[in-house]
Every structure is written in C-alpha cells, then in structure tokens.
Amino acid sequence: MLYGRLDRLREQAARRLSGLLREAGGTPEARSQRDAAAAMYAERVARYDAVEPGLCFGRLDLRDGGHRHIGRIGIFDDEGDFEPLLVDWRAPAARPFYVATAAHPDGVAQRRHIRTRGRTVVGLDDEVLDLDRAAADSRAVTGEAALLAALTAKRTGRMKDIVETIQAEQDRVIRADLGGLLVVQGGPGTGKTAVALHRAAYLLYTYREQLSARGVLIVGPNAAFLRYISQVLPSLAETGVLLATLGDLYPGITARRAEPAAVAEVKGRALMADVLATAVRDRQRVPAEAIRVDVLPEVLLLHPDVVEAARSRARRSGQLHNVARPIFVDAVLGSLAEQVAERVGHDPFWDDPLGEGDALDSPNLLDATDLADIRADLAAEPAVRAVLDELWPVLTPEALLTGLFASADALASAAPQLTAVDRELLRRDPAGGWSPADVPLLDEAAELLGEDDSAARARAAALHRASLEYAQGVLDITAGSMSFELEDDPEAAVPNVASVMDADALAARHATGERLGAAARAAADRRWAFGHVIVDEAQELPAMAWRLLMRRCPSRSMTVVGDLAQTGALSGPASWGEMFAPYVADRWRAAELTVSYRTPAEIMDVAARVLAGIDPAIVPPRAVRSSGVEPWDAEGQLEHLAGRVAALVDELGDGRFAVICPAGLVPALSAVLTDAAVGEQPDLDRPVVLLTVAQAKGLEFDGVVVADPDGIVAESPRGASDLYVALTRATQRLGVFRPIRPIRPNGTVRTG
C-alpha cells in the first residue's frame, strides 16, 4: 500500500512536470510561473526517488492498540485521512521510535525494526518494552539487531543515513531547538557527522518556513568528505542545503592549493584581521613630496598637505575603503581644479587702474559651472587617474592580498606584530592560486574594503521600476479583460490577478533570482545570511575562519560538531569556550556523544592508549560492540605492505579499505600500492585508497592499515592527535605497519 501510494505521488508529479515542459510561449509572467512550478515538480520527483530505498523502516505498536509506521517521509492515503499511512521520522509522533525505553515507554508496547532490500522485507526485529526484559539505562542501545546490521555492513565509499538506527543520545541532539549555538563534542565513532546531517533534515522539516528562504549551510573539512556525505540528505528528502568546504565560501574562487601547516597556522590567527586593516590603510598614501601632474598644456603640483587633508576627510567619513574613495577623489580634484582655474580664469587683457598689478591680479571670471567642467575634464585625464589610483586605489580583496603577500616591505609595514619568520612564511608567488586558509582573509578584506555599488544600485532601481511598470500593465490588462456579464453579476465574478496580488508581488514573482533555491543563491552571494549553519570537524577551524562563519550567520543559530582530542590543525582551539567567547560569550549550549557505534572495542582499546598520552583526563567513548579480532602490529620492508593490504581485502571481501600514512610517505607508498586510489581528492569508490590523516578525517572504512605511526606523530606538533584519528577510522579490522627502512624527509625510501 505504501509503495503504491508513493508510485501514484511520483506519477502525478512526473505527469505535471512533463506537461509543463511541453508548454511554450506565453507572457514573461506566465513563463516565470511555469518555470517555478516545473522546478517544484522536478524536486518532488527527485525526492520520491531518493526515499524509495528503505521507505518504511519501523512500526510502533501502541499500548492503546494503535499502530504507527515510521518512514523517511510522511504519506497520506488518496482520501487524505487525518491519520497518515506513514509518519515522517522527524515528526513528534515518531520520536518514541528512537527514545522509548522500558523505563519510559512513552505509550509504546512494542517497537519493530523493518529491514528491506528494494521493496522486499528481509528482516524484522521486535523490542518489547517490558521492565522485566529490558534495562532502564537511558544510554541503552535501541534496535540492537538493526544497529549491528548497519554497523557491520560493508562500506560503499558513500555515507549512509542512520535514520533507522538513531539512538536516544543522538536523537536529543538532532531535535534540539533551532536557536543559539549548540556545540556537540563526541569521540570517534559516536556519529557526530550523521547526527549533524540528520539535524539539518530535522530543522528543515520542523522550521520549514523560517529556513526555506535563508537556507542551511553545512561546512565540511575537504571536498572528498563532502562527496562522502553527499547522498545522506537527499535520502532524507532534503535537497536545499549548501554543502561547502572553507575553500568554497568566497564566491568566484575555489581554493584548493595545498600549503604547509605552519603557513596556514599564521593565516588563521585572529591578529590577521588587524594586519589586513593596516594593509588597507597603508594603501591610502600621502606622498613625501609634491607630485607633478602633466595635464597638457598645464603642469600641476599635488602637495602632500593637500593629499593629507583629502585622506583625513575620507577617513573621517567612516566609510569603507572603496566607498570612501570618491570623497578622497573629490577633495583632490577640487585642489587641482583650483590650480587650473587660477591659471586660466583671469582676463589676460585686464588693465590695472593703478598700473601696479598683472593679469593674475584680475578678478576670476570662472563660475561654479566652469569649475565643475574643469573637474570633469581632470577626472578624465589619464595622468590624474594614475595619481589617484596610486594614492587611493580601488582594491579588490584578491589584489590586496596578492600585493601584501608578494612584498616583504608591505608585510613589514602591515604586520609588525608578526615575527620575521612568520612574515616570511606568508610570502608567496602571486600566481600560485588560493589555499583554503586564504578564504577567511579574502572575506575579511572584502569587509574592510567595501564596494562602491552606487552605479549597480541605480541600475537595479531602474530595472525594478521597469518591472513594476510592466507588472502594473499586466494587472491593468487582466482587470480590463473581465466579461461585462460577469461585471454585472458580482455573484458570478471570478477573481482576477489584480484581486489577489499587487504589482510589487507580481514583479517579485517574475524576478529571476526568486526562482533559484536558497542554496544556489547563497553560493553566489558573499553577504548571504543563512538561517542555520552546521560545522563538522569544527576543531580544525582557526579563529579567522570563525569570523567568516559568524558573518554568514548573524543570528548565531549554529550546530558545531567536533572532538578536541582529534585536533590536527596547529591553529585549532584549546577549548570551545575560548573559540566562541568573542562571539557569544558564555551563551552557548553543550552536548556530548559518549557511545562509539562505529569503532569495535578492540580497536578503541588501542586508540585509548594514544588518547591517554594526549590528555589523561579525556574519557574515550564506550564501544557498543566487539569484533572478536585484535588489531595487528607488524614491521617489515615497505614492499611487504601491499601483501598485507591484499590479505586484509581477501579476509573481509567486498568493502572499502584505506592505508593512512604521513604526508611525506605518500610518494613512496603510491609506488608500492599501485592499485590504490591516491591524490588530492582520491576516488572513495575504489576498493583501496591511500590517504593522509587530513584526508581521512570524518571518513570510515571496513579495514584500515596505519602505515608508519611514528612518522605520523613526528610530522606535526599535534601528531598524537593525528594518530588517534588514523586508528579510529575502521569499522572491522585495523592493522599497524611499521617500515623498517629509514625514510628520507622528501618521502622516498633509502635502499642502502
């Protein structure tokens, strides 16, 4: 019955979409409405296709004799009865499926987990909520059979949703209130990423009206991670979310250039905001001596005191650099125009009555209109424009950073608070492209520079006026085309367009931008304010990145998930309070995930020993399962690693496997593991992939071999945290391989 109803819904949407696509012509307003409707029905078809696998995964048998089927979306029957055929997992009525316990059954007598393959039921697991048969532990695992089946299933290179197996402590985070900043701390395998994604789906369902217009932003650590999680939200019937890395958050630039961790650390410091502010002021220059301006046939002089006065006037305006430039230009042009007027505005034939003066003593014949013409002529002179651009240039964020990083003198002037070593780290080739650490600096520079958009606003206003005039014309036509018989018979009259919307509303509906989803519009607009922002692997983000994200979310409605013990970035925070104090003081909420579902107890025991070396006070998450297989630890020649990996693949069969190693060892291992996917953005669909720790963050594999753990620790001041990350990526098997031959710093292996 459920799939029959889903098929009918899909067929109806597809039929309406097909009809709309066949239509042609019509007024611009009609085409606009048709495009919007087509987009809506196309989204519906995609949503119905995405939720078909595992459409219904649970049933609640209530103590009052009723039943509720739980699924990915809500479905009502054709007659539209009040009781749904399928309850959306996000609805309040579905919550007992995740949180009901024997101690607090919430009206539930039995919970059934339904496992399907395609449209066929392949397994049923029932839980009777009876105090005599179940523990009253609030952290007890619900749907244990379904959960273990999901955890032991082979990985596919793409994350799956956990909608069928959400646990109580995860559900509390997912359904937390929208407002404020929520920090979710959780160790490896606790489901932080899955919880964050399901929270996005829940918030969009529960606060649809608030969030549909502003959208939700999810920030992940790298492009491979975004591909890994890309199917989760569509499977939960949500497609209007913007997934991005830090390097994607400056429109027009995709920042992927790799750079040393020490360089990224300097760029991430909060004091870089002051460095950029000083760099902007440094570009507002006063010459040491008068500048000669050749405006044939005149030669004008621009004196330092005139420039200083013009600069002070522009700065006092409080406007941003590019917006204040017209004030500076106006003052400089005024001074130059006065020089020209002084030279050309006197009567050359003036006869001094006393015979003591010359033509320059004659009254100036030029009026305000003449002075305005002189100013306009000067503004068009290439020599004048060149001087103005030198003293107060129009700057883009890209130009500001390029000039700053390319010049040792510019860095010394703008960043005296940095050491000479730090400033040298910032020096780079202007043609080298942008790194993710550059993006917060570009965004900060854009905030400091501003944009003189007066011309653009004037064009937009003109277009809006034209759109309103057109819309009003459409309304006038529709009002004038009503039948005289209907006009005489008010009872039979059908409301026309003018009776349900005015010209403003019609023009807004016609606007092209409104037909785009919030995510598409947000991706192209640096100043977009999101309704909610979710940040995964948040412990990796430096202070400058948080400045950018807070600008994207002025409401501070954010969900931040991470694990401080897994911090690999040199600029990562020591505590969440330290990071968020500048923005919300102590007005943030904390939640903790304490149970590791992904990582078997045997692997967690190995990782816990590393964790104790990082901070003995940190309690590792509690593993809910055991694999029965202890991790192995072996030494050998580097060439032997390929055999170890092959044996692991044979042992587990189909699945996904990773070799995680220090960045410096990647060249040597890529030559040994010839079948492994490797690269800046490796293909996670391949059976075996070679990764650095940074690339492996947030991912999981059936089997993992950590190659050269000592090298991982030595490669970074936070190397122990990196090793902790590497050891906790496996769901089934873990091996540790220690090469016995020395490795050169460049990653090659000595043969002697």
pLDDT in tens, 44-67: 888 888 888 889 999 999 988 899
**Closest of 593, 539, 557, 594 to residue 722, by C-alpha:** 539
- pLDDT category of residue 14 using cuts at 50, 70 and 90: confident
465: its two tokens = 């006026």
Structure tokens at 667: 């060249």
pLDDT, greater one: 519 or 497:
519
Whole-angstrom CA distances from 695 to 365, 689, 725 are 74, 11, 11
Token duo for residue 450: 């501003």
Mean pLDDT value across residues 511-531: 78
Average pLDDT over residues 614-640: 92
- The token pair at 288 is 């040491």
List, in order, residues 6 or more apart from 56 with CB less than 8 Å away.
Answer: 2, 69, 70, 71, 86, 114, 116
Alpha-carbon distance of 267 to 255, in angstroms, equals 14
Tokens at 502, concatenated: 């005015």
Beta-strand ranges (E) seen in 487-606 are 532-535, 558-562, 588-593, 595-596
What pLDDT is attached to residue 26? 74
Report the C-alpha gap between 479 and 676 in whole angstroms: 69
**Is residue 28 pLDDT above 80, yes or no?**
no
Mean pLDDT of 646-665: 92
Given a cut of 60, whether residue 494 has pLDDT beyond it is no
Q: Is the pLDDT of residue 238 over 70?
A: yes
Residue 415 confidence (pLDDT) above 50: yes
Whole-angstrom Cα distance, residue 469 to residue 338? 45
Cα atoms in the 13 Å half-sphere on the side-chain side of 534: 26
Single-letter amino acid code for the residue at 146:
A
In the chain, pLDDT over 70 holds for what percent of residues? 84
In this model, does residue 743 exceed pLDDT 80? no
pLDDT the model gives residue 467: 60
In the prediction, which pLDDT does 513 show?
A: 46
The pLDDT assigned to 248 comes to 95
Which pLDDT score is estimated for 136?
Answer: 44
- CA 746, CA 715: separation in Å to the nearest integer? 12
Written as one string, the DSSP assignment of 306-323 is HHHHHHHHHHHTT--HHH
For residue 752, what are the contacts with CB-CB under 8 A and spacing of at least 6? none
Indicate whether 363 pLDDT > 70.
Answer: no
Measured CA to CA, the distance from residue 6 to residue 48 in angstroms comes to 7
Q: Which residue has the higher pLDDT, 209 or 608?
A: 608
Closest by Cα among 307, 128, 100, 195 to 594: 195
> Is residue 739 helix, strand or coil?
strand
Helices 438-449 and 397-406, axial angle in degrees (round to 10): 120
pLDDT at 373 over 90: no
Q: Pick from 569, 263, 570, 285: which is nearest to 418 by CA?
A: 263
> Phi then psi for 729, rounded to 5 degrees?
-90, -10
pLDDT mean over 287-298: 90
Which positions ≥6 away from 312 have C-beta within 8 Å? none
What per-residue confidence (pLDDT) applies to 74? 92
509 pLDDT more than 70: no
CB-count exposure of residue 79 (10 Å: 0-12, 13-18, 19+): exposed
pTM score > 0.85 for this model? no
Task: Return d(Cα 459, Cα 471) in angstroms, integer.
Answer: 18
Residue 185 has pLDDT above 50, yes or no: yes
Q: How far apart are CA 48 and CA 86, in angstroms?
A: 14
So what's the pLDDT on residue 468? 64
The residue assigned the tokens 């505005």 is 345
* Three-class DSSP category at 447: helix
Q: Quote the pLDDT of residue 165.
A: 87
Cβ–Cβ < 8 Å for 238, 397: no
pLDDT tier at 489, thresholds 50, 70, 90 = very low
* Distance from C-alpha of 731 to C-alpha of 627, rounded to nearest angstrom: 9
pLDDT score at 751: 39
pLDDT at residue 356, as a whole number: 52
**C-alpha span between 120 and 410 (Å, rounded):** 68
**Per-residue pLDDT tens for 674-692?**
889 888 888 898 999 999 9
The pairs formed by 364-368 with CB atoms below 8 angstroms and a separation of 24 or more are 366/341
> CA angle 462-467-473, nearest 5°?
130
Q: Which amino acid is at 22?
A: R
| Longest Cα–Cα distance in the chain | 123
Lowest-pLDDT range of 173-182, 399-408, 572-581, 699-708:
572-581
| Least confident span in 315-329, 386-400, 513-527 | 513-527
Q: Under a CB-based contact definition with an 8 Å cutoff, are residues 284 and 391 in contact?
A: yes
Return the pLDDT at 187: 94
- Alpha helix segments (H runs only) across 345-453: 368-380, 382-391, 397-406, 408-414, 420-426, 438-449
The answer on pLDDT for 483 being more than 50 is no
Whether 541 contacts 267, CB under 8 Å: no
Closest CA to 690 of 711, 663, 723, 716: 663
Q: How far are the Cα atoms of 103, 230, 400, 479, 480 from residue 490, in angstroms, in the given order?
A: 64, 55, 66, 14, 16
Task: Return phi, psi of residue 87, to 5°.
Answer: -95, 130
What is the C-alpha to C-alpha distance for residues 75 and 85, in angstroms, rounded to an integer?
Answer: 6
Is residue 512 very low, low, confident or very high in pLDDT (cuts 50, 70, 90)?
A: very low
536-581 residue pLDDT tens = 999 999 999 999 999 999 999 999 999 999 999 888 888 999 999 9
What are the tens digits of pLDDT across the range 460-478?
Answer: 566 666 666 655 655 555 4
Q: Say which range, 108-117, 509-518, 551-560, 726-735, has the weakest mean pLDDT.
A: 509-518
Could you please report the per-residue DSSP string of 39-59? HHHHHHHHHHHHH-TTSEEEE
**Alpha-carbon gap, residue 752 to 750, rounded angstroms:** 6
Confidence at residue 45, expressed as pLDDT on a 0 to 100 scale: 86
Q: Which two tokens stand for residue 430?
A: 């202007």
